[in-house]
Amino acid sequence: HKHDNLDELMYVLEGTASILMGDEVVEVTAGSWHLRPRGIVHVVWNSANDNLRLIDMYFNQNFEDYLEELYHKIIPEVIEKKLTFEDPKIAKRIAQLDKKFGLTYYPEKQQALIDKYGLS
């Protein structure tokens, strides 16, 4: 995904985070920081067999409002009403939320990343 206006700063507490930024993968180990500037497509995953615990900090935008809407309103409604994210009303709400916060996802690239890096 990519943020138009948001910079992300990560601190890894435990484990190793793998981060794809553009075409480069970097490994960020416990005790290390990583900056993901706005406008750069990125993906974060745990490629190790150990636990990964991290803190993400968001700058230039109230991204906690995005997370609040998604995790405390939309997802509970999906679960409660036994919907899917493909449900037209849910998909529309998520698209509006993404647009409001300048967030772009690239689902067409997901399977290639899963295959290339052995993710599940």
| pLDDT at 118 exceeding the cut of 90 | no
Q: Are 11 and 53 in contact (CB under 8 A)?
A: no
- Give the mean pLDDT of 20-30: 94
Band (119; pLDDT cuts 50, 70, 90): confident
Question: Over the stretch 55-104, which tens digit does the pLDDT of each residue have?
Answer: 999 999 999 999 999 999 999 999 999 999 999 999 999 999 999 999 99
| pLDDT at 5 exceeding the cut of 90 | yes
Q: How do the domains of the chain map onto residue ranges?
A: 1-61
Mean pLDDT of the chain: 95
Arch. (CATH architecture) of 1-61 = Sandwich (2.60)
Q: What spatial distance separates the first Cα and last Cα of the chain, rounded to whole Å?
A: 18
pLDDT of residue 120: 78
- Give the mean pLDDT of 113-120: 87
Beta strand segments in 1-120, E: 2-3, 7-14, 16-21, 24-29, 33-36, 42-45, 53-59, 103-104
Angle (nearest 5°) at CA 77 between 64 and 8: 20
Beta strand segments in 33-83, E: 33-36, 42-45, 53-59
